[in-house]
A and B are shown apart, each in its own frame.
Chain A
Amino acid sequence: MSDQQTPNTVTFTLDGQEVTVPKGTTILRAAESIGIKIPHYCFHPGLSSPAMCRLCLVEVEGWPRMAPSCKETAQDGMVVFTNSELAQKQRTGVLEFYLVNHPLDCPICDQSGECDLQDYVFEEGREHGRGREPKRVLGRDDFGGDVLFNGDRCVMCTRCVRFMREVAEDERLCVVERGNRAVIDTFFEEGLEGSPYAGNIIDICPVGALISKDFLHKARAWDLDRTPSVCPSCSQGCNITLQVRDDLVQRLKPRENLEVNGWWMCDFGRHNYEWMNRTDRTEVPMVRGQEVGWADALGDLLQALKDAKESVKAVTWAHAPNEEMGLLSGLLAELGGGEVVYRSPRTEGEVPLPGFPLLARREDLAPNVNGAEIFGFRRVGDNNSQGGLDELAGHDGVLIVVGDPIEDYGEDFGSKAELYVYLGSYQSKTASNAHFVLPITTFAEQEGTYTNVQGRVQRFWPGVRSPASARPGWLILGALVAELTGTEAPVSADQAFAKIAEKTSEFGGITYRDLGPRGAVAGKPAGVSGD
């Protein structure tokens, strides 16, 4: 590998392998780059390194003391051992210290199964503990907001304190007392209440010391299915993981993407998931009040659209994926043109995360406002995503609703329409007059993409099974467009995206493959942040 050497790189030996990394890379990061994981608690890539957990110490040939690999940078010619007898003995020793006062209450701890203490001790800990002494008891504390503190489980890595200080820049946590009596505590009566990014400390806590009240005892970590997704709560589009048990979303966790959200997400987005578990769903295709199969429904609809004489108007919302929007736009073009309006909730002012300037809770509280704008849809309605549809409500031509359940209008919505098509996930009284009610899947149940505030197109994957015979909106719209144009219908989200990318310069040249798990901006190289 030495032929890769440049003035800006260093080459050193790690566990017998020669490694070349950029100058200034720590040993820990260099090891990660070749797949060697050095156990650590206090180090987190998004925070400063205090080098205090003493778990990541490695042996460096010729050095009198072991070196903290999270802090020590690789130097030319250095010979480092992460797995020498000394290094292993050190880790086993430190892990024993961690257990001296740990309550070992894994059976009732929410972190169990995704706990770094459990994992490390299982890998390298002593087989039997030697501690005979009574354990120190610090007890529990309500830190406010969603955060519950269990002091006895704490490994005192201070990631939470440093997150609040360095990233949230809202210093509400500190270490009080010293030595073995040291404990994390809040400064004020309100604790973390109202701090918009405090939930992240639960994610970065390597053990079960900081746990979510919302998730408390809801599910075991190993029972959760994890699906990469995009947060639908604002136009930032934080990369997230849907964590699902029994087809119910249990919690959302941020997923690393250095170009969008780092390792973080806001509490507003984190806790806005209950609606994904709504049960008042449209389940089967209905044509003029009759349950029918999909083939019949689509056949009838196609004929009805061909027969319709009057002008077409459509409404959607900013929760619709690009594929749905793009094919809706395509359908209207085939039907002789017509305006699409959309509605989206909005709030005053952003909520930035000072320590990670790319991230802010944006003013638009829906994931795909940018997509709707790209397709030339006109925004209507107020900041609560209400009103603005009076003209459509009384439209006497073809009326197409995609996604938006329009819960703020009454039963007479669309009563004058020549043809009213409702493609929605939820039952709604405004669908009463619809000639066609076609059940579509939610973002959590399908594959698709959103375009975030930066113009970045990001993929999400299905994490929840859809009810009965709901289908993705793009599949239905794509079939209609294909029939009208005599082309091949898209049978995957990938193909649906390719179809719209052909006609939309903003998506020019992007494919699902380019997007990968971290998205891309058209015209810019695909995301390069680490996996």
Chain B
Amino acid sequence: MAYPYTHEKEVRILSKHFGEPEARTVEGWKARGGYQTLTKAFEMGRDAIINEVKASGLRGRGGAGFPAGVKWSFMPKEKTRPHYLLCNADESEPGTFKDRELLRWTPHQLIEGMIISAYAIQAEECYVYCRGEFFETTAVLAKAVEDAYEAGYLGQNILGSGVNVDITVHCGGGAYICGEETALMNSLEGRRGTPRVKPPFPAQAGYMMMPSTVNNVETLSSVPFIIQEGADAYRANGTEESPGTKLFCVSGHVRRPGNYELPLGFPLMELIEDVCGGMREGRKLKGVIPGGSSVPILNAEECADCEMSFEGVIEAGSQLGCAAVIVMDDSTDMVQAVRRMVDFYTHESCGQCTPCREGSSWTGKILKRIEEGRGTEEDLDTLMEVTSQMEGTTICVLSDSVAAPVQSSILKYREEYLARIRTGEKVGAAS
């Protein structure tokens, strides 16, 4: 198959048709069994859909892992005001590239999932908020939406069912923070993309202060399978607490980086050694960021028994996040890597909350100084304290995302920092 890499251990449900250009067309998608769940879903009714998704245990794929069915059930049962379904396609977490592939190869899978989900939460208007840099992807999705309208899957009275669903594709301006659901809503409304204070939660007052639900691309794309095959079929993969399959975005120092769809709970080392073909020639594993750069780094020992499920990664000392697995071998300069991550967050902080606005840039400056060999040992204490002042003190969790890599790296790779401070030498000599 044309898709860059596949592996026999993969369970390809979402990514089954990756690499097949015809799947992007309405006809091609129908030929692959697409759009057949709509009639079934409309017959099931709203409550049955929500219950089925609850039963499937589908957890949000955007990073927080909140059960999707439960989230939907927060929406008001009596519709007195417009409801909105927002699809978060602002995939910006460093290391993740799964939504891009879902949008690029199977846009109709998402559209189908959105129609069912919108129906379930009584939303007639939906928005897909695409990352600003997703030029090609957005064009593919926009074309698919247009085709779906033409084929009668979107718009008024879909398939004669009386259900109305409109989807608007909206392109962001390229800001990481707009992937935070309330910042996304602000941005969509034409305001500055800054997170809102919760409560009120989106289901009470979200987009345009109306009841809204924000779901990730991968979450919504999982819905058609659950409706078609049932919750039990979905639960056939994964663990009790993390059912189903998940796209793992593996990047870094492995031989075959890429998107791999595997059951949740898949062992991390098997993912690296087997599915991704192992580390680069002659290199040893140094550490893994298992869920995108916002989560703590796992060192090689912690990786050994780590299972890639929401609960498994927490047990190992980090978080699954959006399953963006960044693998680093012994050539990695940890100080530089962490500094680079902090620079990213400094650049992407929205600037509202003081601890994040000032703390991230300050942390970055201290790390830069250490990297340049001008650090002191007290700097490490300062870093630990400054980042602890940033944790849990802000409106959103971007600030905590700065603290995670800095604190975990200082705890786990302290000798590298110390070597840099004392001798100015890099431990992980670039190869």
Residues of A within 8 A of B (CB): 50-55, 57, 64-66, 68, 71, 90, 93-94, 96-98, 100-101, 130-134, 136, 155-156, 175, 177-182
What are 22 A-B pairs at a CB distance below 8 A? A50-B197, A52-B352, A57-B393, A66-B393, A93-B393, A96-B389, A97-B358, A98-B358, A100-B358, A100-B361, A101-B361, A130-B382, A133-B369, A156-B351, A156-B352, A156-B354, A178-B351, A179-B351, A179-B357, A179-B361, A180-B357, A181-B351
Q: Is B348 located at the chain interface by the 8 A CB criterion?
A: yes
Q: In the bound complex, what is the Cα–Cα distance between A181 and B366 (angstroms)?
A: 18
Task: Indicate which residue in B197, B346, B389, B393 contacts A180 across the interface (CB closer than 8 Å).
Answer: B346
Q: In the bound complex, what is the Cα–Cα distance between A166 and B351 (angstroms)?
A: 21
Give chain A residues whose Cβ lies under 8 Å from the Cβ of B175.
Answer: 178
Q: Is B192 located at the chain interface by the 8 A CB criterion?
A: yes
- A-B contacts besides A50-B197, A101-B358, 4 pairs, CB < 8 Å: A97-B354, A100-B358, A100-B361, A101-B361
Closest Cβ neighbor of B352 among chain A residues? A52
Closest Cβ neighbor of A133 among chain B residues? B365
Give chain A residues whose Cβ lies under 8 Å from the Cβ of B348.
Answer: 178-179
Interface residues of B in 166-205 (CB under 8 A from A): 175, 177, 192, 197
Q: Is B359 located at the chain interface by the 8 A CB criterion?
A: yes
Q: Is B395 located at the chain interface by the 8 A CB criterion?
A: yes
Chain B 345-374, CB within 8 Å of chain A: the 1/0 string? Answer: 011111111110111111001100100000
Q: Is B392 located at the chain interface by the 8 A CB criterion?
A: yes
Give chain A residues whose Cβ lies under 8 Å from the Cβ of B192.
Answer: 175
Give chain A residues whose Cβ lies under 8 Å from the Cβ of B347.
Answer: 179
Q: Is B336 located at the chain interface by the 8 A CB criterion?
A: no
Contact between B349 and A178 (Cβ–Cβ < 8 Å)? yes
Give chain A residues whose Cβ lies under 8 Å from the Cβ of B365.
Answer: 133-134
Task: Indicate which residue in A54, A132, A179 contacts B355 across the interface (CB closer than 8 Å).
Answer: A54
Q: In the bound complex, what is the Cα–Cα distance between A50 and B186 (angstroms)?
A: 13
Give chain A residues whose Cβ lies under 8 Å from the Cβ of B395.
Answer: 51-52
Q: How many residues of B contact A (CB 8 A)?
A: 29
Point out which of B175, B369, B394 has the most chain A C-beta atoms below 10 A from its C-beta.
B394
What 9 pairs across the A-B complex have the smallest Cβ distances? A182-B351, A93-B389, A97-B358, A179-B349, A133-B365, A180-B361, A52-B352, A100-B358, A51-B197
Q: In the bound complex, what is the Cα–Cα distance between A98 and B393 (angstroms)?
A: 14
Q: In the bound complex, what is the Cα–Cα distance between A90 and B385 (angstroms)?
A: 12
Point out which of B346, B362, B389 has the most chain A C-beta atoms below 10 A from its C-beta.
B362
Task: Indicate which residue in B351, B354, B359, B382 contacts A177 across the interface (CB closer than 8 Å).
Answer: B351
Closest Cβ neighbor of B369 among chain A residues? A133
Give chain B residues whose Cβ lies under 8 Å from the Cβ of A131.
Answer: 362
Q: In the bound complex, what is the Cα–Cα distance between A57 and B391 (angstroms)?
A: 13
Give chain B residues whose Cβ lies under 8 Å from the Cβ of A57.
Answer: 393
Contact between A136 and B393 (Cβ–Cβ < 8 Å)? no
Q: In the bound complex, what is the Cα–Cα distance between A68 and B362 (angstroms)?
A: 24
Contact between A180 and B355 (Cβ–Cβ < 8 Å)? no
Q: Identify whether the interface residues of B are mostly helix, strand, loop, or mixed.
A: helix
Give chain A residues whose Cβ lies under 8 Å from the Cβ of B359.
Answer: 97, 100
Expressed in whole angstroms, the minimum distance between the Cβ of B187 and any Cβ of chain A is 12
Task: Indicate which residue in A52, A94, A181 contacts B389 across the interface (CB closer than 8 Å).
Answer: A94
Expressed in whole angstroms, the minimum distance between the Cβ of A94 and any Cβ of chain B is 5
Give chain A residues whose Cβ lies under 8 Å from the Cβ of B346.
Answer: 179-180
Task: Indicate which residue in A98, A132, A134 contacts B354 across the interface (CB closer than 8 Å).
Answer: A98
Closest Cβ neighbor of A176 among chain B residues? B192
Give chain A residues whose Cβ lies under 8 Å from the Cβ of B389.
Answer: 90, 93-94, 96-97
Task: Indicate which residue in B354, B357, B392 contacts A55 across the interface (CB closer than 8 Å).
Answer: B354
Give chain B residues whose Cβ lies under 8 Å from the Cβ of A54.
Answer: 353-355, 393-394
Give chain B residues whose Cβ lies under 8 Å from the Cβ of A93.
Answer: 355, 389, 393
Q: In the bound complex, what is the Cα–Cα distance between A96 and B392 (angstroms)?
A: 16
Q: In the bound complex, what is the Cα–Cα distance between A100 and B355 (angstroms)?
A: 11
Closest Cβ neighbor of B362 among chain A residues? A100
Q: In the bound complex, what is the Cα–Cα distance between A178 and B355 (angstroms)?
A: 14
Q: In the bound complex, what is the Cα–Cα distance between A366 and B152 (angstroms)?
A: 70
Give chain A residues whose Cβ lies under 8 Å from the Cβ of B349.
Answer: 178-180
Contact between B357 and A90 (Cβ–Cβ < 8 Å)? no
Q: In the bound complex, what is the Cα–Cα distance between A97 and B395 (angstroms)?
A: 16
Give chain B residues whose Cβ lies under 8 Å from the Cβ of A98.
Answer: 354, 358
Q: In the bound complex, what is the Cα–Cα distance between A96 and B350 (angstroms)?
A: 19
Expressed in whole angstroms, the minimum distance between the Cβ of A43 and any Cβ of chain B is 12
Task: Indicate which residue in B353, B358, B360, B382 contacts A52 across the interface (CB closer than 8 Å).
Answer: B353
Task: Indicate which residue in B197, B360, B369 contacts A179 across the interface (CB closer than 8 Å).
Answer: B360
Give chain A residues whose Cβ lies under 8 Å from the Cβ of B197.
Answer: 50-51, 68, 71
Q: In the bound complex, what is the Cα–Cα distance between A54 and B357 (angstroms)?
A: 11
Give chain B residues whose Cβ lies under 8 Å from the Cβ of A51.
Answer: 197, 395
Give chain B residues whose Cβ lies under 8 Å from the Cβ of A178.
Answer: 175, 177, 348-351
Point out which of A90, A98, A101, A180 has the most chain B C-beta atoms below 10 A from its C-beta.
A180
Q: In the bound complex, what is the Cα–Cα distance between A90 and B390 (angstroms)?
A: 9
Give chain B residues whose Cβ lies under 8 Å from the Cβ of A65.
Answer: 392
Q: In the bound complex, what is the Cα–Cα distance between A106 and B405 (angstroms)?
A: 36
Expressed in whole angstroms, the minimum distance between the Cβ of A66 and any Cβ of chain B is 7
Known A179-B346, A179-B347; contact A133-B354, beta-carbon cutoff 8 A: no
Q: In the bound complex, what is the Cα–Cα distance between A53 and B175 (angstroms)?
A: 22
Give chain B residues whose Cβ lies under 8 Å from the Cβ of A52.
Answer: 352-354, 395
Q: In the bound complex, what is the Cα–Cα distance between A156 and B192 (angstroms)?
A: 14
Expressed in whole angstroms, the minimum distance between the Cβ of A500 and any Cβ of chain B is 53
Expressed in whole angstroms, the minimum distance between the Cβ of B394 and any Cβ of chain A is 6
Task: Indicate which residue in B352, B354, B361, B392 contacts A94 across the interface (CB closer than 8 Å).
Answer: B354
Give chain A residues whose Cβ lies under 8 Å from the Cβ of B358.
Answer: 97-98, 100-101, 180
Q: In the bound complex, what is the Cα–Cα distance between A93 and B356 (angstroms)?
A: 12
Point out which of A50, A55, A179 has the most chain B C-beta atoms below 10 A from its C-beta.
A179
Contact between B351 and A175 (Cβ–Cβ < 8 Å)? yes
Contact between B357 and A94 (Cβ–Cβ < 8 Å)? no
Expressed in whole angstroms, the minimum distance between the Cβ of B354 and any Cβ of chain A is 5
Give chain B residues whose Cβ lies under 8 Å from the Cβ of A156.
Answer: 351-352, 354, 357
Expressed in whole angstroms, the minimum distance between the Cβ of B356 and any Cβ of chain A is 8
Contact between A90 and B351 (Cβ–Cβ < 8 Å)? no
Give chain A residues whose Cβ lies under 8 Å from the Cβ of B353.
Answer: 52-54
Closest Cβ neighbor of B382 among chain A residues? A130
Give chain B residues whose Cβ lies under 8 Å from the Cβ of A66.
Answer: 392-393
Give chain A residues whose Cβ lies under 8 Å from the Cβ of B360.
Answer: 179-180
Expressed in whole angstroms, the minimum distance between the Cβ of B351 and any Cβ of chain A is 3
Expressed in whole angstroms, the minimum distance between the Cβ of B88 and any Cβ of chain A is 19
Give chain B residues whose Cβ lies under 8 Å from the Cβ of A136.
Answer: 361
Contact between B355 and A97 (Cβ–Cβ < 8 Å)? yes
Expressed in whole angstroms, the minimum distance between the Cβ of A176 and any Cβ of chain B is 9
Q: In the bound complex, what is the Cα–Cα distance between A61 and B358 (angstroms)?
A: 28
Closest Cβ neighbor of A96 among chain B residues? B389
Q: In the bound complex, what is the Cα–Cα distance between A71 and B199 (angstroms)?
A: 10
Expressed in whole angstroms, the minimum distance between the Cβ of B366 and any Cβ of chain A is 7
Q: In the bound complex, what is the Cα–Cα distance between A155 and B353 (angstroms)?
A: 10
Q: In the bound complex, what is the Cα–Cα distance between A74 and B20 (angstroms)?
A: 57
Contact between A133 and B362 (Cβ–Cβ < 8 Å)? yes
